[in-house]
Structure 1
Amino acid sequence: MTSLETIWLVLVTGIWTLYLVLGGAELGVTMLLRLGSGAARTVNRQAALRAIGPTWQANDVWLICAIGAMFGAFPAWYAGFTEGLYLPLVVLILALIVRHAGIEFADHHSPIGRERWTRAVIACSAVLPVGWGVAWAAAADGSLARGGVDVLSWSAVLAGLALLALCHAMGAALLAHRTSGALAVAATRRLRWAAPLAAVLGVAATVGVAQGAADGVTAGPLAVALLVVAGAALATLTVAGGQGRARVAHHAAGVAVGGLLGALVAALGSRVIAGAGGVDLATSASGGYTLAWMTAITVALLPVLLWVLHLAGRRRSTGPRRGLGEGLFEGLR
């Protein structure tokens, strides 16, 4: 692979990581909209949505950027990804639509209608991480190259469940440290068992994907290093979650997701869809002219994106006015 191709492979992986970490935490929050009982459940639901109010829609922009970067820089990868996941992607798109609609529409209905929309939002929030986990793991065991129902291999489904559990733990941790009162207590209680469960499933999924990997998928030094980082993060998640240290658990879960995804891409190398009929980026990436223009546009637009994140961080903060660095950090969180 050329230098530009390598840079864009790293960028695509990084953008997917941002979506799965930032958007995944907020998917976890919307899985927890029914914490509590009776009237307290309605209050908790509103508090949970306020906690992610400035960014729950904006974080889906990372998904659009990831798909757009794949399409522009590696059209064969995009084609193989969407062809192999045709039916699962339809389900994921419908889940995205229903989740967004449910969050917006629920408060405009009667209590019965609001409860139905809330249940739909919770279900769709669980479907999304399972689907993306299956998609990435299927690229490693060769089933994505075959497409159809073959993508639902045991290792891919296990990876989907692991990502679901990690998002659930991140959501509980986010609520525990961003809210107060009964909701924070309930979220901390949920985190105490969700964190170790996520860690166990993360380890199991890593072993499963490694055992089911197709020929040519090997863990080189970079993949091993990222797996060590992910393992340390999972251990930290278990300890911090059990102790109710929500901020530490939140960040540890995010590092674990990023480390596992990075290790998977590093193991795949340029052959990002393994197996017979898979995709090798070294021979199917866009030309140097296209990649050069994409790089220039990205460099030009990056400051705008960082400024938007800064504004989101300032909007979330209820304290004194924050500078660019502090606001940006809050926006990324």
Structure 2
Amino acid sequence: MELHDVWFVLIAVLWIGYFFLEGFDFGVGILTKLLARDRVEKRVLINTIGPVWDGNEVWLLTAGGATFAAFPEWYATLFSGFYLPLLIILVCLIVRGVAFEYRAKRSEEHWQRNWETAIFWTSLIPAFLWGVAFGNIVRGVKIDRNFEYVGNFWDLLNVYSILGGLVTLTLFTFHGAVFVGLKTVGDIRERSRKLALKVGLATAVLALVFLIWTQIDSGDGASLAALIVAVVALVGALAMVNGGREGWAFILSGITIVAAVAMLFLSLFPDVMPSSLSADWSLTVTNASSSQYTLKIMTWCAVIATPIVLLYQSWTYWVFRKRIGTHHIAVDVSH
């Protein structure tokens, strides 16, 4: 296996890690409107991800940086062609981070309510747009002989990509509901389980259509295996939620995300960004990659840095592993 193939796999792993971790972050943010009944419950939901949300976003930074260094042509075409949706995602992530930090800085109800509204929308919009973006990457976009995107914003809003956006939106919401059930006690835990079942059923329908469509268009044996794993894991997650086994449900909902995203990358390889105008103009792991010397240096950096990142992030989850409930929220910060 060539180094550019290795880095395609590593970038896929980074995106899988990001969607696995940030997926339930987005889901919890969305649930602040769908699940929480009052200010105290909203605080409980926010506190379930408070210690980890910023660490989860490190995976996105690493994935973007790795793409820039390992596949500069891919990075350039992607970020120029998808400039507006990626800018919207970036703005949402910035506002979302500010909302988490500033919400409790003042006790006025309107102040906290406005920041909570910001958390909801800046979780929902990226959850949808990431699916739209990856749907277009897999489906192919208008790339010319110079490897430049020559379409427009409206070309990105097609049936396949919008379906992909709905899949990520519902899947992340389901993942978040399962996470809330895992991290809370009391009535909110029971309601999160009931909501997870409803969202999970909608997710199953949308995901099945989207993944089968992907398999028919560009799949192979490996992607078919990933599709089967995703479907079985999602069904298993729903069964575990129904049985009140939140730990297993979370593992299986995570496996669903891992398998589904892996299927997209398996369907994509060896392209990194197919051209819908001509297969000869597609960006591949070969024509979009950096030099072998650059890839060698990056590989050594990854070997050294990756275990450190995994260790400190695992430690964070271990420290903040306990469940929380409304009785843990002090009165003076719940107004």
TM-score bin, normalised by smaller chain? 0.7 to 0.9
Q: Out of 262-271 and 27-36, give the one that drifted further.
A: 27-36
Q: Out of 76-85 and 58-67, give the one that drifted further.
A: 76-85
Q: What is the aligned counterpart of 2:114 among 116, 121, 126?
A: 116
Q: Which amino acid aligns with 2:196?
A: L
TM-score, structure 2 normalization: 0.87
1:128-176 CA-to-partner distances (Å, cap 9, x unmatched) read 1111111111012223643522111111010111011010011111111
In structure 1, what is the equivalent of residue 264 of structure 2? Answer: 264
> Aligned partners of 1:219, 1:118: CA distance in 2, in Å?
41
1:311 paired with 2:315, answer: yes
Structure 2 CA distance for partners of 1:36 and 1:286, relative to 1, 3 Å: closer
Conservation of the 8 A alpha-carbon contact between 1:22 and 1:59: yes
> Aligned partners of 1:303, 1:238: CA distance in 2, in Å?
32
How much has 1:210 moved relative to structure 2? 4.6
1:270-324 CA-to-partner distances (Å, cap 9, x unmatched) read 21211234312222211110000000011111232122123313321359xxxxx
Conservation of the 8 A alpha-carbon contact between 1:272 and 1:281: yes
Query: With CA pairs under 8 Å and 6+ residues apart, which has the higher RCO, 1 or 2?
Result: 2
In structure 2, what is the equivalent of residue 222 of structure 1? Answer: 222
In structure 2, what is the equivalent of residue 182 of structure 1? Answer: 187
1:86 paired with 2:83, answer: yes
Q: What is the aligned counterpart of 1:157 among 162, 172, 194?
A: 162
> Aligned partners of 2:318, 2:269: CA distance in 1, in Å?
39
Structure 2 CA distance for partners of 1:20 and 1:304, relative to 1, 3 Å: same
Q: Which amino acid aligns with 2:113?
A: E
In structure 2, what is the equivalent of residue 238 of structure 1? Answer: 238
Q: Which amino acid aligns with 2:302?
A: T
Q: Which amino acid aligns with 2:128?
A: V
Q: Which amino acid aligns with 2:88?
A: V
1:55-101 CA-to-partner distances (Å, cap 9, x unmatched) read 11110000000001111111111112112211101111111111111
In structure 2, what is the equivalent of residue 282 of structure 1? Answer: 286
**% identical equivalent positions:** 27
> Aligned partners of 2:263, 2:298: CA distance in 1, in Å?
25
How much has 1:224 moved relative to structure 2? 1.4
Conservation of the 8 A alpha-carbon contact between 1:76 and 1:285: yes
> Aligned partners of 2:261, 2:203: CA distance in 1, in Å?
15
Structure 2 CA distance for partners of 1:132 and 1:68, relative to 1, 3 Å: same
In structure 2, what is the equivalent of residue 252 of structure 1? Answer: 252
Conservation of the 8 A alpha-carbon contact between 1:196 and 1:242: no
Aligned residues: 310
In structure 2, what is the equivalent of residue 3 of structure 1? Answer: 2
Q: Out of 26-35 and 290-299, give the one that drifted further.
A: 26-35
1:107-146 CA-to-partner distances (Å, cap 9, x unmatched) read 2241122112111211110111111111111012223643
Secondary structure of 1:282 counterpart: coil
Consecutive unaligned residues in structure 2, runs of 5 or more: 144-150, 324-335
Q: Which amino acid aligns with 1:138?
A: N
> Aligned partners of 2:249, 2:321: CA distance in 1, in Å?
21
> Aligned partners of 2:55, 2:61: CA distance in 1, in Å?
10
1:106 paired with 2:103, answer: yes
Secondary structure of 2:272 counterpart: coil
Conservation of the 8 A alpha-carbon contact between 2:74 and 2:283: yes
Conservation of the 8 A alpha-carbon contact between 2:183 and 2:322: no
In structure 1, what is the equivalent of residue 42 of structure 2? Answer: 45
> Aligned partners of 1:292, 1:185: CA distance in 2, in Å?
50
CA-atom RMSD, angstroms? 1.8
Q: Which amino acid aligns with 1:65?
A: T
> Aligned partners of 1:268, 1:178: CA distance in 2, in Å?
36
Conservation of the 8 A alpha-carbon contact between 1:199 and 1:238: no
Conservation of the 8 A alpha-carbon contact between 1:33 and 1:122: yes
Q: Which amino acid aligns with 1:273?
A: M
Give the 5 Å matches for 1:291-310. Answer: 291-310=295-314
In structure 2, what is the equivalent of residue 140 of structure 1? Answer: 138
Q: What is the aligned counterpart of 1:77 among 74, 78, 91?
A: 74
Give the 5 Å matches for 1:313-328. Answer: 313-318=317-322
1:128 paired with 2:133, answer: no
Consecutive unaligned residues in structure 1, runs of 5 or more: 320-333
Q: Out of 102-111 and 87-96, give the one that drifted further.
A: 102-111
> Aligned partners of 1:223, 1:272: CA distance in 2, in Å?
15
> Aligned partners of 1:258, 1:308: CA distance in 2, in Å?
21
Conservation of the 8 A alpha-carbon contact between 2:230 and 2:257: yes
Q: Out of 232-241 and 179-188, give the one that drifted further.
A: 232-241
